[in-house]
Amino acid sequence: MIVNLEILCIGNELLIGKIKDTNAHYLATKATQLGVNVNRVTVIQDIVEEIAKTILECVERKPQFIVTTGGLGPTFDDKTLQGIAQALNCPLEVNAQALEMVKQRCEEYAAKRHMQTQIELTASRVKMATLPKGTQPVNNPLGSAPGVHVNFGGTILFALPGVPAEMEAIFAESIAPLFKVVVGGNVFCERSLFVDGVTESHLVPLVDKVMMDNVGVYVKSHPMRSEGKPYLEIHLTMRATQEQKPVEKLRKAAKELAVLIEASGGRIQAES
Amino acid sequence: MIVNLEILCIGNELLIGKIKDTNAHYLATKATQLGVNVNRVTVIQDIVEEIAKTILECVERKPQFIVTTGGLGPTFDDKTLQGIAQALNCPLEVNAQALEMVKQRCEEYAAKRHMQTQIELTASRVKMATLPKGTQPVNNPLGSAPGVHVNFGGTILFALPGVPAEMEAIFAESIAPLFKVVVGGNVFCERSLFVDGVTESHLVPLVDKVMMDNVGVYVKSHPMRSEGKPYLEIHLTMRATQEQKPVEKLRKAAKELAVLIEASGGRIQAES
């Protein structure tokens, strides 16, 4: 079964170029390695209506999973939970379990700094525990804003914080194990040939032939410039169960392609 | 006038994490600096129907500009032009001007390498000059695949190659000058305070007050971890005409915020 994921990154700072997003690349890489098919990444601004509308567009495409990043913090411009509530058409309410999580992180923070004062549950801290009704908090091992688990019928949405370390910690603890179970036996395999002495245009008929002869193997060439010389990475990938022997199939396809490339004057510089 | 831009990055390699996209960040940064408002970035796979559908979704949101990256090359998986043709519901045809551009780049390439052979216009080279009917090629100063200028009524779409150096060269030569004209007097200004000794939660009421008192100034805090200590960048931005004196307004807002932060126990470590 193909398991689809959409990634939705929320934050003005990403769209003005202030912050170079690394979360989408992290999630795309990890999900792909777990055998999940990442359909789409969308980056939008901190606007409640925009968040709600975009989530509903994602849900309409019926991926099994949506992961959002950003907008869960204490400040006024953290609007992801309001956006989810609007998409679900349900109110926001303080979630007791989430409030306990926020409190615990604050206490840990104070203890680490030997602060004597009582931790105050300020409005901005309570905000992080104010979730759309019917959603569940997800433990954030590193920060005060919990993740949120939302059920949209056939689609499960996880809202994660934008701070990369926190997002990665929640993904590793609560999402990756779930992806593994849902994906079942599917794995993603890849193999690369590094080639010079031929241009991408020359390779077209050779790649076509190898893809025709090796059903299920996807071949893509990536031009890489190296001191002005044409230099290509030919990337072969396959998503399949182990029983379908993807590693062997990729090795066979890469070998066939290497023979064709060398016969037409190219050189295989490396293989990995 | 607010000028909106949507960025659409096309390529499986971005969604499997094989390539870390840098094009969206480059375009978002440059466009923002030119006073353009970047609404959304979308990353999709090399599937013709998906490209067509997503372009039409972008057009429906009525931005003045869409810039796509990727999928203009000679290989079978370069499908952006097919996607645009499907979105326009018009055929692909060899464009004489584009063919001339492709030929010229190939000849330059051969001359640089002192190749004696006649440049052959192979099918894969002709493919790069086969544009949706009614669209115009845009000069690519660095590579063989021309950019493409497409008119969707109120929205102008530029299709650029995915190779960063080529994308940047076309942007600088043909798009940035157009953005400047369309944007008119609008500029984007920013100012940052680097703060420690306070948490983001503490800052909420202070930021609220400064935003209330300084209409048009947007304030966002970015948590940055530095040896486990809370450390925040407070980023103040404004998009306005020079007559509205955005630099002075940002300076005034930053000063007010700094006073409030220091009064509540925080320290301003730096300002830029």
Q: Would the CB atoms of B29 and A14 count as touching at under 8 Å?
A: no
**Confidence label for B228 from pLDDT (cuts 50, 70 and 90):** low
pLDDT at B100 over 60: yes
**Confidence label for A222 from pLDDT (cuts 50, 70 and 90):** confident
Domains with residue ranges and CATH for chain A? 4-183 (3.40.980.10), 187-271 (3.30.70.600)
**Confidence label for A225 from pLDDT (cuts 50, 70 and 90):** low
Q: Which pLDDT belongs to residue A66?
A: 98
Q: Out of A39, A44, A207, whose CB is closest to B45?
A: A39
Q: Average pLDDT, whole number, for chain A?
A: 91
Q: Which pLDDT belongs to residue B51?
A: 98
Are the C-beta atoms of B162 and B236 separated by less than 8 Å? Answer: no
- Whose tokens are 């009917």? That residue is B133
Are the C-beta atoms of A72 and A145 separated by less than 8 Å? Answer: yes
Q: Which pLDDT belongs to residue B230?
A: 61
Q: Which helix (H) or strand (E) holds A183?
A: helix A176-183
pLDDT at B121 over 70: yes
Q: Which pLDDT belongs to residue A205?
A: 87
Span B91-114, average pLDDT: 88
Which of the pair, A204 or A178, is modelled with greater confidence?
A: A178
- With a threshold of 0.85, tell me whether the complex ipTM lies above it: yes
Q: Would the CB atoms of A208 and B76 count as touching at under 8 Å?
A: yes
pLDDT at A174 over 60: yes
Which of the pair, B124 or B148, is modelled with greater confidence?
A: B148
Q: Would the CB atoms of A40 and B41 count as touching at under 8 Å?
A: no
CA distances to B157, B175, B196 from B139, in Å = 15, 11, 49
Integer Cα distance of A233 and A256 in angstroms: 16
Span B215-222, average pLDDT: 90
Which of the pair, B186 or B20, is modelled with greater confidence?
A: B20
A149 min Cα distance to partner chain B (Å)? 23
For the record, the structure tokens of B9 come out as 């990055």
Mutation site, A16, A167, A212, A225, interface B, largest B CB count within 10 A:
A16
Read off the pTM. 0.90
Q: Which helix (H) or strand (E) holds A123?
A: helix A123-128
Mutation site, B4, B22, B41, interface A, largest A CB count within 10 A:
B41
Q: Would the CB atoms of A201 and B40 count as touching at under 8 Å?
A: no
Q: Which pLDDT belongs to residue B2?
A: 87
Q: What is the pLDDT of residues A5-39, one digit of tens each?
A: 999 999 999 999 998 999 999 999 999 999 999 99
pLDDT at B202 over 70: yes
pLDDT at A52 over 90: yes
Name which of B131, B140, B162 is nearest B67 in CA terms: B162
Q: Would the CB atoms of B25 and A25 count as touching at under 8 Å?
A: no
Q: What is the pLDDT of residues A112-150, one digit of tens each?
A: 777 666 667 788 889 999 999 999 999 999 988 999 999
Tell me A120's DSSP state: P
CB atoms within 10 A of CB A154: 9
Q: Which pLDDT belongs to residue B27?
A: 98
Which chain B residues are Cβ-neighbours of A55 within 8 angstroms?
Answer: none
**Confidence label for B185 from pLDDT (cuts 50, 70 and 90):** confident
Q: Average pLDDT, whole number, for chain B?
A: 91
B61 min Cα distance to partner chain A (Å)? 11
Q: Would the CB atoms of A76 and B12 count as touching at under 8 Å?
A: no
Span B15-44, average pLDDT: 95
Q: Out of B33, B208, B220, whose CB is closest to A12?
A: B220
Q: Would the CB atoms of B17 and A32 count as touching at under 8 Å?
A: yes
User: Listing from the earlier edge strand, what are the strands of the sheet with A136-138?
Assistant: A136-138, A147-152, A155-160, A65-69, A4-10, A37-44, B37-44, B4-10, B65-69, B155-160, B147-152, B136-138
Which chain A residues are Cβ-neighbours of B21 within 8 angstroms?
Answer: 25
Q: Which pLDDT belongs to residue A33?
A: 94
Which chain B residues are Cβ-neighbours of A225 within 8 angstroms?
Answer: 165
